[in-house]
């Protein structure tokens, strides 16, 4: 089955700097790659996603890139702010009615 690896497990950046989180997946049939943000004590929240027919997607300060050949995708957060501090999870699925397989998460700390 699908296996998703996520790096780094923790990341500290200065406010205003950029943060990059990387994930790799194993199943070439996967075609949907969402990112979730989870603040302490709250539910995971979908922040951006990308499908395999697209190489990059951007939404304000966040962007996701996908390299299907290498089977990896990345989350980029620019101009980080303290409220970006949270745990971020990447995931992969084959779309349709298939469930998500999650990476282990990255704890991002933005230092003011």
Decide: is 103 part of the binding site for other proteins (CB under 8 A).
Answer: yes
Instruction: Please identify, using beta-carbon distances, which residue of 14 and 99 lies nearer to other proteins.
Output: 99
Instruction: Please identify, using beta-carbon distances, which residue of 17 and 54 lies nearer to other proteins.
Output: 54
40-49's contacts with Cβ under 8 Å and 24+ in sequence apart are 40/86, 44/89, 48/75
Least distance in angstroms from the C-beta of 109 to other proteins: 15
Please count the other Cβ atoms lying within 10 Å of the Cβ belonging to residue 40.
7
Contacts of 5 (CB under 8 A, 6+ apart): 23, 24, 25, 103, 104
Decide: is 100 part of the binding site for other proteins (CB under 8 A).
Answer: yes
Least distance in angstroms from the C-beta of 79 to other proteins: 25
Instruction: Please identify, using beta-carbon distances, which residue of 101 and 110 lies nearer to other proteins.
Output: 101
Decide: is 69 part of the binding site for other proteins (CB under 8 A).
Answer: no
Q: What ranges in 6-107 are assigned the alpha helix state H? A: none
């Amino acid at each position: 089955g699908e296996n998703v690896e996520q790096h780094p497990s923790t990341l500290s950046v200065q406010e205003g700097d950029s943060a990059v989180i990387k994930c790799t997946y194993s199943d070439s049939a996967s075609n949907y790659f969402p990112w979730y943000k989870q603040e302490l004590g709250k539910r995971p929240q979908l922040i951006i996603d990308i499908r395999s027919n697209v190489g990059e997607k951007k939404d304000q300060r966040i962007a996701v890139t996908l390299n299907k050949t290498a089977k990896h995708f990345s989350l980029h957060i620019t101009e980080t702010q303290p409220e970006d501090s949270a745990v971020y999870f990447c995931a992969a699925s084959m779309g349709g009615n298939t469930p998500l397989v999650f990476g282990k998460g990255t704890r991002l700390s933005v230092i003011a």
